[in-house]
């Protein structure tokens, strides 16, 4: 494998000091995992340098997905018409049906789907921690895929009975849960070049304050990259008087700049000010938020735009392609703005948010939201070589790429237009096709060698079989109405418990 890669004659999308993106015809040189030079007519440093001709190609920073449940590949197209509360029994809690080995293949397929889509870094809210082996197999799959990840180790509620009564395991924080986290933290960062970093995903905020303080203190002392939680306010989540996630964490002294809140829909002004004051960041997932009843995406609100990023949430609902989230939220925000003007019998002079605004949400701002701006998020000397190369002559990008390459990606592109994906200096997709992966023998491996070579078609075969099995398991066990009623009751009880502790 070549230790240097030279991208020749491409249209590079370069961010300036104030995040304005400029298209520049230049070369880019990668050595090992880093970008070491950008300029005109760069000569290959050695005879074994891999040279990629980027004539008629757009060279973009890799996309950063800040909220994704990567294991859920076997559930794709399960929730096309579901609200959030329909999703819980058929999406979230069916993790109880998946074995550790099945988790490996679901996770590997999900991570490879991200790579195929141009995502080079993913924040994985991994609510699959049914046993210690489930999280370890998910991490092994993540390492094997080649993606850069913050693996959000997630204490996960396990269903013990679906009917006639819906019941959960009584101790979601059994001793093994945090003991396993400590074991993983001792190995952190994981994989070649530390490509996978350990984070923490936590939604059990209904637990007593002293428990929350112990858990958050333990996680921070262990060096977690970030702590992420779901944050949704509204009628279904305790009503307008329910405390916000930010407010609840702050009441226990736990809110800070290592916190990433997913969604944050329907925020009150006082919650917004608290979030900004404490340096908290936001991951918006426009497609699931608009479909499932979370509320409107906040990432283009003026008070949130500079602290927001984009995520996929559930690829059981939608594509893993971040530019689809970009275009969705951009046109939704423009439509909403036009409606506001129309309501006052006025006509807007412009459309409001721009394609560059949402492009940044999926690149440089995503890096800031996970505290990795100095390493990823833009094409710059010294940063990691996480790069997506588009074919500018494809039917979708033709002409658009010449006129405005950022608009071409946001509004005209599809996954088929992605020719090459490079992560950490390694080519993971080439000629429009995913490359084979080497399956890591264990999660302690620091070199990418010696593992079993697996092609995409083998991954696909296993996931199709698992999809059939999951449908059979759900049909045999899940009573949707019983589960939905229990979940609604639990949400209201938890909201009341929060209020009592503040």
CATH number of the domain where residue 385 is located = 2.30.40.10
My answer on whether 390 and 347 are in the same domain is: no
From 347, 370, 393, the end of a domain falls on 370
Same domain? For 272 and 394 the reply is no
Return the pLDDT at 165.
86
Shared-domain flag, residues 169 and 201: yes
Q: How many CA atoms lie within 13 A of 117 on its CB side?
A: 24
In this structure, the answer to whether residues 229 and 154 fall within a common structural domain is yes
- pLDDT beneath 70, residues of the chain: 1, 235-241, 490-502
Asked whether residue 462 is domain-assigned, the answer is no
Q: Do residues 86 and 69 both lie within one domain?
A: yes
The number of residues making up the chain comes to 502
Per the structure, the count of domains in the chain is 2
Domain that holds residue 138: 63-370
In three-state form (DSSP H/G/I as H, E/B as E, the rest C), the secondary structure along 229-267 is: EEEECCHHHCCCCCCCHHHHHHHCCCCCCCEEEEEEECC
| In a domain? residue 485 | no
Residue 120 to residues 8, 50, 62, 90, 409: CA-CA distances in angstroms?
21, 20, 5, 28, 16
Query: 263-301 b/e with 16+ CB inside 10 Å = b?
Result: bbbbbeeebbebbeeeebbbbbbbbbbbbbbbbbbbbbb
For the segment 316-342, what is each residue's pLDDT rounded down to a tens digit?
999 999 999 999 999 999 999 999 999
Asked, for residue 457, whether it belongs to a domain, the answer is: no
Question: 478 in a domain, yes or no?
Answer: no
Residue 492 domain-assigned? no
Distances in Å between the alpha carbon of 328 and those of 257, 306, 354, 375?
A: 28, 19, 12, 28
Residue 453 covered by a domain = no
Residue 172 is predicted with a pLDDT of: 85
- Residue 480: inside a domain: no
Residue ending a domain, among 354, 370, 386, is 370
Whether residue 75 sits in one domain with residue 41: no
Answer yes or no: is 475 within a domain: no
pLDDT in tens, 117-149: 999 999 999 999 999 999 999 999 999 999 999
Q: Which pLDDT score is estimated for 224?
A: 98
Closest CA to 456 of 479, 437, 432, 428: 437
260 and 198 housed in the same domain: yes
pLDDT, position 477: 85
**Whose CA is closest to 379, among 42, 149, 39?**
39
pLDDT of residue 451: 82
Q: Which of 439, 468, 484 is the last residue of a domain?
A: 439
Looking at the structure, tell me whether residues 165 and 276 fall in a common domain: yes
Residue 351 and residue 401 in one domain: no
Same domain, 393 and 425: yes
Same domain, 103 and 208: yes
User: What tokens were used for 362?
Assistant: 């999926």
What is the spatial distance between Cα 246 and Cα 227, in angstroms, rounded to a whole number?
12
Same domain, 81 and 91: yes
CATH of the domain at 84: 3.20.20.140
């Amino acid at each position: 494998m070549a230790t240097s890669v030279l991208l020749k004659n491409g249209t590079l999308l370069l961010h300036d000091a104030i995040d304005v993106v400029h298209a520049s015809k230049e070369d880019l040189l990668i050595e090992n995992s880093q970008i070491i030079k950008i300029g005109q007519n760069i000569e290959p440093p050695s005879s074994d340098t891999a040279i990629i001709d980027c004539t008629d190609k757009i060279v973009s920073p890799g996309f950063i997905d800040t909220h994704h449940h990567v294991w859920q590949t076997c559930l794709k197209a399960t929730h096309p018409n579901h609200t959030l509360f329909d999703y819980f029994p058929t999406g979230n809690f069916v993790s109880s049906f998946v074995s550790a080995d099945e988790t490996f293949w679901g996770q590997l397929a999900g991570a490879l789907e991200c790579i195929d889509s141009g995502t080079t870094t993913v924040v994985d809210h991994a609510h699959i921690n049914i046993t210690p082996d489930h999280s370890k197999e998910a991490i092994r799959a993540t390492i094997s895929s080649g993606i850069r990840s913050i693996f959000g180790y997630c204490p996960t509620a396990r269903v013990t009975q679906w009917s006639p009564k819906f019941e959960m395991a009584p101790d979601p924080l059994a001793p093994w849960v945090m003991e396993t986290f400590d074991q993983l933290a001792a190995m952190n960062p994981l994989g070649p070049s530390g490509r996978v970093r350990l984070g923490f995903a936590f939604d059990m905020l209904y637990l007593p304050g002293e428990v929350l303080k112990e858990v958050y203190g333990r996680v921070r002392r262990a060096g977690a990259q970030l702590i992420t939680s779901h944050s949704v306010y509204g009628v279904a989540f305790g009503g307008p008087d329910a405390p916000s996630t930010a407010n609840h964490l702050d009441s226990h002294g736990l809110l800070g700049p290592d916190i990433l809140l997913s969604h944050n829909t329907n925020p009150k002004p006082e919650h917004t000010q608290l979030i900004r004051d404490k340096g908290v960041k936001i991951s918006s997932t426009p497609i699931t938020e608009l479909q499932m009843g979370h509320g409107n995406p906040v990432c283009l609100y003026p008070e949130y735009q500079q602290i927001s990023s984009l995520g996929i949430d559930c690829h059981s609902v939608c594509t893993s392609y971040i530019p689809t989230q970009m275009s969705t939220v951009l046109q939704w925000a423009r439509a909403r703005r036009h409606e506001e003007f129309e309501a006052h019998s006025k006509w807007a002079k412009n459309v409001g948010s721009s394609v560059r605004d949402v492009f940044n949400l999926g690149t440089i701002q995503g890096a800031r939201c996970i505290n990795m701006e100095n390493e990823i998020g833009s094409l710059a000397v010294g940063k990691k070589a996480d790069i997506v190369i588009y074919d500018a002559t494809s039917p979708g990008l033709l002409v658009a790429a010449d006129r405005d390459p950022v608009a071409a990606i946001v509004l005209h592109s599809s996954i088929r237009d992605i020719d090459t994906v490079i992560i950490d200096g390694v080519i993971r997709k080439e000629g429009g096709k995913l490359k084979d992966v080497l399956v890591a023998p264990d999660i302690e491996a620091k070199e990418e060698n010696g593992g079993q070579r697996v092609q995409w078609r083998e991954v696909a075969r296993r996931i199709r079989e698992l999809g059939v099995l999951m449908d059979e398991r759900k049909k045999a066990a899940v009573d949707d109405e019983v589960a939905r009623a229990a979940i609604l009751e639990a949400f209201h009880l938890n909201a009341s418990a929060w209020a009592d502790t503040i």
